Structure 1
């Protein structure tokens, strides 16, 4: 096949050679790139074998934290106002609802509290 007026064959072979060199350079850099200590500090990466465990622990701690905070607030109101057991019952339910909402937000099922601001 004869080259066209603009040197089409020369250009495509130069692009192929450049692409191959760039790919080799990328592979060489990946092999020689030192592993930074911050890789371990940031926690598990999505491909890590503990990523699922970390995500489950985070989601369960969100729920438990909501229930505990609601219980403490309810018990405190009962103690100070003498309305036992209504403060504990109400705030335990509110804490459970807040915990479920936090779990849904962390799992990506529900939008976060600032999601409405980004739409405008």
Structure 2
């Protein structure tokens, strides 16, 4: 038997394997940007992002309909506010996904710490 094949050395080999796996997991997490992977997490994120978008469009359409009813400007209020709701929905999705910072926030970019260092 070789030196590393002894039965007593199994604990050492297991620790080595765990260290290699931990390093690979960390490297994979850094490469994917810390995004969740998995069935339930990604499905939940998809539902959350789609509901953010739909809410923006519905609120815009409702406000446009209300403006049209009050001002008698049918269909222009609905058209304008529907487009504004569409834009707001996209902005909400981008903010929720972390691709756009909140207005006025000094949030660090991905991969940076609080002092702006990588």
TM over 0.5: yes
Shift of 1:115: 1.6
TM-score normalised over the length of structure 2: 0.57
Counterpart of 1:60? 50
- Report the alpha carbon displacement of residue 63 of structure 1 after superposing the two structures with TM: 0.4
Q: CA deviation at 1:112?
A: 1.3
Give the Cα separation in 2 of the matches to 1:65 and 1:102: 9
Partner SS for 1:115? coil
TM (norm. structure 1) is: 0.56
Q: Of 73, 76, 80, which aligns to 2:70?
A: 80
Name the Cα RMSD after superposition. 2.1
Q: 2:103 aligns with which of 100, 107, 113?
A: 113
* Residue segments in structure 2 that go unaligned for 5+ positions in a row: 1-35, 109-113
Structure whose alpha-carbon radius of gyration is higher: 1
Q: Distance in 2 between matches of 1:116 and 1:82?
A: 43
- 1:50 is paired with a residue whose SS is helix
Name stretches of at least 5 consecutive residues in structure 1 with no aligned partner.
1-45
CA distance in 2 between counterparts of 1:55 and 1:117 reads 21
Any runs of at least 4 consecutive aligned residues in structure 1 with deviations exceeding 3 A, and if so which? 46-49, 116-119
Are the aligned partners of 2:60 and 2:81 in contact in 1 as well (CA < 8 Å)? yes
